[in-house]
Amino acid sequence: MISREAKDELAALLGPKGYLDRPEDLILYEYDGGVDKARPDLVAFPRGTEEVVGIVKIAAKYGVPVVGRGAGTGLSGGAVPRSGGVIVSFARMNRILEIDLENERAVVEPGVVNLDITLAVQDDNFFYAPDPSSQRACTIGGNVAENAGGPHTLAYGVTTNHVLGVEAVLPDGTVFTTGGMESDLPGYDLTGLLTGSEGTMALVTKVYIRLMRKPETVKTALAIYDSAEDCGRTVTEITERAITPVAVEMLDGVMLRMVEEATHAGYPMDAAAVLLVELEGVREMVEEQVEQVREACLKCRAREFRVARSAEERDLLWKGRKNAFGAVGRVSPSYLVQDGVVPRSQIAPTLKFIRQVAEKYGLVISNIFHAGDGNMHPIILFDKRKPGELEKAIKAGEDILERCIAVGGSITGEHGVGMEKIGLMSKQFSEDTLETMRRLKNLCDPEGRLNPGKVLPTGRGCVEIRQEPLREGSVVY
């Protein structure tokens, strides 16, 4: 529990409209898009780096945990204040500070919404490449913390490939800058270290990003299948033809029916799976590659192959993909989204395994994922009002992630470890590797107050962690 003295100093720093501490307000900040919950003692809304420094110095003085938060769209509990304390919300730090189109650069504050960057430069034929499904809401600070990806990262890469530098604040109030507008600065790659560190090392207050020029031609195709395994095998077939689409997205039958009922995007209701493929570049090359992708899909027994005939048709297909999670909410009162990665050659076998897991636990599991890089997103539907359903969903998710590790993959591709996958880190990495990570964390945060209880395992099983009350007044689901 935060002391009255600490709260008074934070109130004096931020002003009466710069923080929240009433229970009815704090309840809105006890969760993100995952299933874990814990309530903060206070939510601070800094307006600039100086106020962030002031917050962390007060927190250090009184030994208070600090958790950074963007839009709260994360899916692994990364922004959940596991030990209470102060949430630093970057909602007010939402300015685009500089756009340098000549050098294809921009400088933004962490609270800038992902899509707003593209909207600011699209009239000049530029865009910001990483595009999480939540890009209309998620912020750059959260994207940096989680190293977010998106459908188009097959060709463009994830957030770390587009972050040139950051300004950040350490838990003792030290402000430092790593990287910047220049290219290939000497020294250690601290930008790469902080990107994906899930707010456990520093609070990012400014981000230097790369902008890209729009391609000459974009083509989006939809391949329709009567077998999910055939759909999964198509990804390997496309890769063997030395084609790298900018996006290869797969939706299974359960998912596409939910999406179609919600968005009317034109997906066939009777299919077992569909593959959404996007190609871009010089017009002649794209047209040739579309035909090669058509051949690959038909070879893998696609029953139909469509190419969007207009920008409107293309946008409609992507509307279905981007609004998928919202479509699930119309069908199931609760769901758990997983984020495992497997080699492309293991997509079809993993889909079969996921179907077996669904049968084992008596749950409905739908699949929508970045098939091009093997980033699986099985969505486990459940009703937490029914006793034991949440526990079954969690166990099903763990089974799937353990399978991903077993076939040479990873427990996360873009959602981060957070609280959700912390118990599986010891299965992904050796103890020596984890100890090296702890040492790096301790260099930045020796008192362990910055987003505590995230990423690195505590030595207990993840189910035990979720079910253990965190502190007085906290609720953990």
- Residues 230-257 have pLDDT tens digits of 999 999 999 899 999 999 999 999 999 9
Give the confidence band of 367 by pLDDT, cuts at 50, 70, 90: very high
- Is residue 465 pLDDT above 50, yes or no? no
Kindly calculate the radius of gyration of the chain based on its CA atoms and give it in whole angstroms: 22
Give the confidence band of 183 by pLDDT, cuts at 50, 70, 90: confident
Q: In the numeric block, which tokens belong to residue 236?
A: 């390997």
- Is residue 476 pLDDT above 70, yes or no? no
Choice between 1 and 57, residue whose per-residue pLDDT is larger: 57
Average pLDDT over residues 341-350: 93
Q: Which amino acid is at 319?
A: K
- Is residue 466 pLDDT above 80, yes or no? no
Q: What's the angle, vertex CA 85, arms to CA 471 and CA 8, rounded to 5?
A: 125
What span, in angstroms and rounded, lies between the C-alpha atoms of 306 and 309?
Answer: 9
Q: What is the predicted pLDDT for the residue at 7?
A: 97
Rounded to a whole number, what is the distance in angstroms from the first to the last CA of the chain? 20
Give the confidence band of 329 by pLDDT, cuts at 50, 70, 90: confident
Give the confidence band of 463 by pLDDT, cuts at 50, 70, 90: very low
**121-180 pLDDT tens trace:** 999 999 999 999 999 999 999 999 999 999 998 999 999 999 999 999 999 999 999 999
Q: What is the predicted pLDDT for the residue at 324?
A: 86
Q: What is the predicted pLDDT for the residue at 458?
A: 67
* Residue tagged 């456990």 (tokens): 200
CB 372 within 8 A of CB 334: no
Average pLDDT over residues 69-86: 96
- Is residue 58 pLDDT above 50, yes or no? yes
Distance of CA 310 to the CA centre of its chain: 30
CB 446 within 8 A of CB 385: no
Query: What angle do helix axes 389-406 and 347-361 make, rounded to 10 degrees?
Result: 150
What span, in angstroms and rounded, lies between the C-alpha atoms of 389 and 368?
Answer: 22
- SS3 track for the chain: CCCHHHHHHHHHHHCCCCEECCHHHHHHHCECCCCCECCCCEEECCCCHHHHHHHHHHHHHHCCCEEEECCCCCCCCCCCCCCCCEEEECCCCCCEEEEECCCCEEEECCCCEHHHHHHHHHHHCEECCCCCCCCCCCEHHHHHHHCCCCCCHHHHCCHHHCEEEEEEECCCCCEEEEECCCCCCCCCCHHHHHCCCCCCCCEEEEEEEECEECCCEEEEEEEEECCHHHHHHHHHHHHHCCCCCCEEEEEEHHHHHHHHHHHCCCCCCCCCEEEEEEEEECHHHHHHHHHHHHHHHHHCCEEEEEECCCHHHHHHHHHHHHCHHHHHHCCCCEEEECCCECCHHHHHHHHHHHHHHHHHHCCEEEEEEEHHHCECCEEEEECCCCCCHHHHHHHHHHHHHHHHHHCCCECCCCCCCCCCCHHHHHHHCCHHHHHHHHHHHHHHCCCCCECCCCCCCCCCCHHHHHHCCCCCCCCCC
Percent of all residues in the chain with a pLDDT value above 70, rounded to a whole number: 96
CB 233 within 8 A of CB 348: yes
Q: What is the predicted pLDDT for the residue at 256?
A: 92
Q: What is the predicted pLDDT for the residue at 467?
A: 32
* Residue tagged 């990012």 (tokens): 204
Give the confidence band of 325 by pLDDT, cuts at 50, 70, 90: confident
**381-408 pLDDT tens trace:** 999 999 999 999 999 999 999 999 999 9
What span, in angstroms and rounded, lies between the C-alpha atoms of 292 and 273?
Answer: 20
* All residues at 6 or more sequence positions from 288 whose CB lies less than 8 Å from its CB, including other chains: none
Give the confidence band of 184 by pLDDT, cuts at 50, 70, 90: confident
- Among candidate residues 393, 392, 424, 394, the one with its CA nearest the CA of residue 409: 424
Choice between 90 and 1, residue whose per-residue pLDDT is larger: 90
Backbone angles phi, psi at 252, to 5 degrees: -85, 175
List of domains in the chain: 97-213 (3.30.465.10), 217-327 (3.30.70.2190), 334-420 (3.30.70.2740)
Average pLDDT over residues 348-370: 95
**93-128 pLDDT tens trace:** 999 999 999 999 999 999 999 999 999 999 999 999
Average pLDDT over residues 296-322: 94
Average pLDDT of the chain, as a whole number: 93
- Among candidate residues 53, 48, 9, 5, the one with its CA nearest the CA of residue 171: 53
Average pLDDT over residues 373-388: 94
- Among candidate residues 224, 216, 220, 310, the one with its CA nearest the CA of residue 270: 224
Q: What is the predicted pLDDT for the residue at 461?
A: 37
Q: What is the predicted pLDDT for the residue at 475?
A: 35
Q: What is the predicted pLDDT for the residue at 326?
A: 83
CB 210 within 8 A of CB 164: yes
Residues 285, 291, 292, 298, Cα dihedral to 10°: 160
